[in-house]
Amino acid sequence: MNLAIKIAAIAAVAALTGCTDLKPLQAQVDDLKSQVSKLSSDVAANKTSTDAAAKAAAAAGQSASQAGAAAAAAQNTANQALAAAKAAQAGVDATNEKIDRMFKRSVSK
């Protein structure tokens, strides 16, 4: 039994010797806590930036959609103007042809 007490005493001394190094571990834990806190704030800042970028992208997409609609309306107007110009040119060509026929008749008489 004497031997068991000696072994228990040696184990107790060894355990107590190991416990004296808690201060460096506590410092490391505190350092890790501060790093986690900084990373948390960095993540929050990145989320804010990401949200702002997503809103800007959505606004750009909406602007592009509106620009596409405006371009389609402009193309439609241009097509109508081209059709009107062709009709006007056909009228001018018909008038010129009539004038040419009248001029030929008056010259031939």
pLDDT in tens, 10-57: 766 666 665 556 778 788 888 999 999 999 999 999 999 999 999 999
Amino acid at the residue 102: M
Whether 64 is in a domain gets the answer yes
Tokens of 72: 């389609």
Whether 55 is in a domain gets the answer yes
Amino acid at the residue 2: N
Whether 106 is in a domain gets the answer no
Whether 103 is in a domain gets the answer no
Q: Is residue 66 scored above 80 in pLDDT?
A: yes
Amino acid at the residue 23: K
pTM > 0.85: yes or no: no
* Percent residues over pLDDT 70 in the chain: 82
Task: Report the mean per-residue pLDDT for the chain.
Answer: 87
Q: Which residue has the higher pLDDT, 59 or 17?
A: 59
Instruction: Print the domain residue range for 69.
Output: 2-82
Strand, coil or helix: 1: coil
Per-residue pLDDT at 45: 95
Tokens of 101: 């026929």
